[in-house]
Amino acid sequence: MNIILLGPPGAGKGTQAKILVEERGMIQLSTGDMLREAKESDTEMGRRVAEVMARGELVTDEIVIGLIEEKLTGDNGGGLIFDGFPRTLAQADALGELLEKKGAALDAVIEMRVDDEALVARVSGRFTCGNCGAVYHDETRPTKVAGVCDVCGSHDLKRRADDNAESLKQRLMEYYKKTSPLLGYYYCKGNLTGVDGLSDIPVVAAQVKEVLDNL
């Protein structure tokens, strides 16, 4: 089963993807994570990507489609979760072609609905564990012991460079201009379903489960 989690920054795509990885053995393909990794490399591409991401703009279609294409070779196990990809109509078309070439289908596109004010609050308090990827929030989901990950005990807790008010505004603008047209695109293809991304994490997870169980 291959699915897309679609929604603005902070909608909870990564959190829900991690739950699906644990519960269903699916594979999370997050272009944001891939780009953050590329950014660390001491290359011209890494430096360009870092600048674009810091401004909250989208990286070129060519780069992200290339990253996804590399991951689509071979056996994709329990199914793929596209998290943060596609973000433009050109990326959506490319994904359709890549899946078709593999003889694979897109089974569902889940829109995580949230409102902008809630996003700003969520994103500005967010931090993650650099070791295991667990996601926390200053107010709504703090660690039990300050500075220590509840899951793996690591002290490597980090905030993303682009989780600040300025970048977030730009990221939201990019979402509404370039990514939200995908809702109409997938609605017309017949595979769009919405869940209430503002509910608590387990409630959203239950809604996602219901969508997948009904496929």
Q: Residues interacting with ligand AMP, by CB under 6 A?
A: 9, 31-32, 35, 52-53, 56-59, 64, 84-85, 87, 91, 162, 171
Clarify whether 36 is annotated catalytic.
no
Is 24 one of the catalytic residues?
A: no
Query: Catalytic one among 18, 39, 122, 171?
Result: 171
10 Å CB burial of residue 60 (0-12, 13-18, 19+) is: middle
Could you give the count of Cα atoms lying within 13 Å of 3 in the half-sphere of its Cβ?
Answer: 28
Is residue 87 part of the annotated active site? The answer reads yes
**Least distance (Å) between residue 18 CB and ligand AMP:** 13
Residue 126: active-site member? yes
For residue 29, the minimal CB distance to ligand AMP (Å) is 10
Catalytic entry in 36, 160, 177, 209:
160
16 within 8 A of 206, measured Cβ to Cβ: no
Q: Closer to ligand AMP at the Cβ: 64 or 205?
A: 64
Q: Please state the closest distance from residue 150 (CB atom) to ligand AMP, in A.
A: 22
| Residue (of 19, 7, 3) closest to 135 by Cα position | 19
- Least CB distance to ligand AMP at residue 57 (A): 6
Which of the following is catalytic: 13, 18, 39, 122? Answer: 13
β-strand partners of 113: 196
Cβ-proximal residue to ligand AMP, closest one:
32
Q: Count of CB atoms within 10 A of residue 27's CB? A: 16
Closest to ligand AMP by CB, 58 or 212: 58
Pick the closer one to ligand AMP by CB: 8 or 195.
Answer: 8
Annotated active-site residue 13? The verdict is: yes
CA atoms in the 13 A half-sphere facing the CB of 68 = 30
Residues 26, 79: contact at Cβ < 8 Å? yes
Supply φ then ψ for residue 2, to 5 degrees: -115, 130
Instruction: Select which of 55, 126, 158, 189 is catalytic.
Output: 126
Q: From CA 185, how far away is CA 145, in angstroms rounded? A: 45
Q: Give min distance, CB of 62 to ligand AMP, in A.
A: 10
Q: What positions carry a catalytic annotation?
A: 13, 87, 126, 160, 171
